[in-house]
Amino acid sequence: MSADATDLAIKVVTKRFGGLVAVSEVSITVSIGGVHGLIGPNGAGKSTTIGLISGFLRPDAGTISFGSHDLAQLSPSAIARLGISRTFQQATPLGGLSVFENVLVGMHTAYRAGLCAVLARTPAARREDREMRAAAERLLDLFGLETLAGVDARNLTFGQLRFLEFARAVAMRPSILLLDEPAAGLNDAERMRLADLIRRFRSDGIGILLVDHDVPFVFELSDRMTVMNFGSVIASGDPDTVHRDPAVREAYLGDAVADGGDKWRS
């Protein structure tokens, strides 16, 4: 976790694409050491919100701040260096690199040695390289990828690619982690491992924004939740409060909260 860790605050943010308002006056706070779930139907504006936070999109109105930093005008690389990393719905490895090398590349924001020191192979640069390689090995072990370290990442299964994508995001040593559909396409065993990892990083003090269509998965892991529909927030609060909200039932959850409202707990 970054030494200057702080909450991420999205306040009254709006994003338009021509005449379409994809995100309308959305406010969300992602707290350090907490999981904030963000759910909603397709087209609700969830991934657009992640794109705005991570710098791939620019808001038309509102503010996105991380401590004293205004993220709205920063590049994705600058935002990553501040301690905010993300995964993508489409897990795409760096072509031609091994699993180990993919994770090592993810650590680029943590390197302190300059280019000259690296080229000259100074003692400090060599020591840092050893430390980074050891850290990458620990991450591979944590994510269950240690036996695949030397494999070309393009040859991984779908589930393995999901965990590699997650490991690369964690390799950046973030304070805030944006997870965009991390459970999509995973089997039950993989989903359980993913949940355990999210809980672990939360306990390590990382703030997590969790977007996923697996409603029970998000409910079980989240401390706070926001529900979007047609670009707007229709409910927010703790999971039980959101679960009981009539607007959420009508607009999104439907049968998932019917029959006593406990199906999402299974």
Mean pLDDT (the chain) is 86
The pLDDT of residue 3: 39
For residue 264, pLDDT over 80 is answered with no
All domains in the chain, ordered by first residue? 8-92+174-265 (3.40.50.300), 94-155 (no CATH)
pLDDT band for position 25 (cuts 50, 70, 90): very high
| More confident call, 244 vs 3 | 244
Amino acid at 86: R
What does R_g of the chain's alpha carbons equal in angstroms? Answer: 19
3-class SS at 7? coil
Closest CA to 166 of 145, 151, 150: 145
Its pTM stands at: 0.86
The pLDDT of residue 108: 66
pLDDT band for position 1 (cuts 50, 70, 90): very low
Q: How many CB atoms lie within 10 A of CB 199?
A: 14
For residue 194, pLDDT over 90 is answered with yes
Per-residue pLDDT, averaged over 86-110, amounts to 84
Torsion angle in degrees (nearest 10) through CA of 254, 158, 46, 18 = -120
The pLDDT of residue 59: 96
For residue 177, pLDDT over 60 is answered with yes
Per-residue pLDDT, averaged over 85-95, amounts to 86
The backbone region for 40, taken as left when phi is positive above 0, alpha when psi lies in -120 to 50, beta otherwise, is left
> Which residue(s) pair with 232 in the sheet?
229
Interior/surface letters 41-64, b for 16+ CB within 10 angstroms, e for the rest: eeebbbbbbbbbbbbebebeebeb
